[in-house]
């Protein structure tokens, strides 16, 4: 965590809703030196937040620099208006963390409000999953509208910086359209695929025992808290339906391609997807300075620590890390993005430790 800025040595925040996201914000800001006040309608959650030292106090009427509304999206408008009424200070700024922004923006017109959405989460539920590093390296979308005052940016940008995230500014409408495709739709697809496999496993007991590699990677997000998703999906219904229509069309075309045995067309689909996936931005560093390294690794404790230890010893920065599991067997592939200028040295050191690696420059 970074420390508070010199201009604001001891900023203060009220986190309303101390669950997974709110608890992580509270813990991260507390470690960064903020004075953190917490509020939750569940007294047990609030007690747990104090017991774990996530917050400094539980006085919801505190005079603070920033109020973060971390409640389910359908509650944001009601809860924000309630706290705006009780905290009348013109200098207190309000934000939220909901995954859908258009409805909220259309209802809250107070210039002290600037909507936000941290693009981070966990498969864990509630305050038990709260981590101070939840947002490190994540994108935090801000969604101003015509009523947002310029002064609203200061405390929120400081919070984002101190949590280790990067801010991105979009209109509420653009945000909802984009997250439908990259967040909401993937969750629905993962849930559908998981349910399909689970139902098939009723007839084939061994099926889920074969669920390794790509299946586990694709369905991992389906393990997230199901309770938060119905409201998110229904509030962003229009954009999600458009995404589902587009995906259904692609799947229909893919089905026809497979049915007619068009090998070249199938290869084109897979090649295009591979190129696009490898082009996903993973770092602020320029792609032309980076190399992707693939390292086959055995499935045993300590492998990841050993390889990252070699990197640390050589002062090799790991800009991204991914593990691709084999569909069978006890091996996988560790995929690392490193500086091109250090890749040869790193590869040689890995070889001395018994690891074989292959490299591909990013462009």
In the predicted structure, residue 324 carries a pLDDT above the cut 60:
yes
Residues 6+ apart with CB under 8 A from 36: 12, 13, 15, 26, 29, 30, 54, 55, 56
**pLDDT for res 285:** 52
| Angle, in degrees to the nearest 10, between helices 153-162 and 20-31 | 80
The model carries a pTM of 0.73
| C-alpha to C-alpha distance for 213 and 332, rounded to whole angstroms | 8
Q: For the ranges 63-67, 104-108, 110-114, 337-341, which has the lowest average pLDDT?
A: 337-341
- For residues 75-91, average pLDDT: 93
| Residues 24-53: tens digit of each pLDDT | 999 999 999 999 999 999 999 999 999 999
In the predicted structure, residue 123 carries a pLDDT above the cut 60:
yes
First CA to last CA across the chain, in angstroms? Answer: 31
Distances (CA, A) of 66 to 29, 98, 104: 12, 16, 18
**Average pLDDT value over all residues in the chain:** 87
Token code pair at residue 32:
């960064």
| C-alpha to C-alpha distance for 324 and 340, rounded to whole angstroms | 22
Residues 6+ apart with CB under 8 A from 300: none
| C-alpha to C-alpha distance for 221 and 85, rounded to whole angstroms | 37
Strand partners, 139: 166
Calculate the CA 322 to chain-centre distance: 15
What pLDDT band is residue 125 in, cutting at 50, 70 and 90? confident
| C-alpha to C-alpha distance for 65 and 80, rounded to whole angstroms | 15
CB atoms near residue 256 (< 10 Å): 11
| C-alpha to C-alpha distance for 356 and 344, rounded to whole angstroms | 12
Strand order in the sheet with 318-325: 318-325, 331-339, 290-298, 358-361
Burial of residue 27 (CB within 10 Å: 0-12, 13-18, 19+) is buried
| Residues 308-320: tens digit of each pLDDT | 889 888 988 887 7
Token code pair at residue 210:
């074969």
Antiparallel, parallel or unpaired: β 139-143 and 318-325: unpaired
| Exposure string for 89-111, b = 16+ CB within 10 A, e = fewer | eeebbbbbbbbbbbbbbeebeee
In the predicted structure, residue 19 carries a pLDDT above the cut 60:
yes
Q: Which domains does the chain have, with CATH numbers?
A: 12-170 (3.40.50.720), 175-278 (1.10.3660.10), 287-361 (3.30.2130.10)
The runs of H, that is alpha helices, within 122-222 are 153-162, 172-179, 185-201, 213-219
| C-alpha to C-alpha distance for 343 and 349, rounded to whole angstroms | 10
| Exposure string for 194-233, b = 16+ CB within 10 A, e = fewer | beebeeeeeeeeeeeeeebbebeeebebbebeeebeebbb
| C-alpha to C-alpha distance for 280 and 315, rounded to whole angstroms | 25
Which has more confidence, 328 or 237? 237
In the predicted structure, residue 328 carries a pLDDT above the cut 70:
no
Element (H, E) at 246: helix 237-259
Residue tagged 């084999």 (tokens)? 326
- For residues 334-351, average pLDDT: 90
């Amino acid at each position: 965590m970074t420390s508070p800025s010199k201009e604001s040595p001891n900023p203060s925040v009220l986190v309303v809703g101390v669950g997974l996201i709110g608890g992580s914000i509270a813990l991260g800001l507390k470690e960064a030196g903020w004075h953190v006040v917490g509020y939750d309608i569940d007294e047990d959650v609030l007690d747990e937040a104090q017991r774990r030292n996530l917050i400094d106090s539980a006085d919801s009427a505190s005079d603070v620099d920033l109020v973060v509304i971390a409640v389910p999206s359908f509650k944001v408008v009601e809860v924000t208006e309630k706290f705006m009424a009780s905290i009348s200070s013109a200098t207190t700024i309000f934000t939220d963390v909901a995954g859908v922004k258009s409805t909220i923006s259309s209802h809250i017109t107070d210039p002290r409000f600037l909507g936000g959405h941290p693009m981070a989460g966990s498969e864990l539920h509630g305050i038990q999953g709260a981590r101070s590093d939840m947002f490190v390296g994540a994108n935090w979308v801000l969604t101003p509208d015509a009523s947002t005052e310029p002064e609203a940016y200061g405390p929120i940008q400081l919070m984002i910086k101190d949590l280790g995230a990067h801010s991105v500014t979009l209109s509420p409408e653009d945000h909802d359209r984009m997250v439908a495709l990259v967040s909401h739709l993937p969750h629905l697809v993962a849930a559908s695929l998981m349910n399909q496999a689970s139902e098939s496993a009723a007839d084939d007991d061994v099926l889920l025992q074969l669920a390794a590699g790509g299946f586990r990677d694709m369905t991992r997000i389906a393990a997230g808290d199901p309770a938060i998703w119905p409201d998110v999906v229904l509030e962003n219904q229009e954009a999600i339906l458009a995404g589902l229509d587009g995906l259904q069309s692609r799947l229909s075309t893919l089905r026809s391609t497979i049915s007619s045995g068009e090998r070249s067309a199938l290869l084109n689909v897979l090649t295009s997807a591979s190129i696009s996936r490898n082009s996903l931005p993973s770092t602020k560093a320029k792609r032309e300075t980076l190399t992707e390294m693939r390292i086959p690794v055995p499935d045993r404790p300590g492998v990841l620590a050993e390889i990252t230890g070699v990197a640390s010893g050589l002062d090799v920065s790991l800009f991204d890390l991914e593990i691709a599991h084999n569909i069978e067997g006890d091996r996988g592939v560790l995929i690392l993005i490193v500086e091109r200028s250090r890749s040869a040295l790193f590869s040689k050191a890995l070889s001395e430790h018994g690891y074989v690696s292959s490299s591909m420059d990013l462009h």
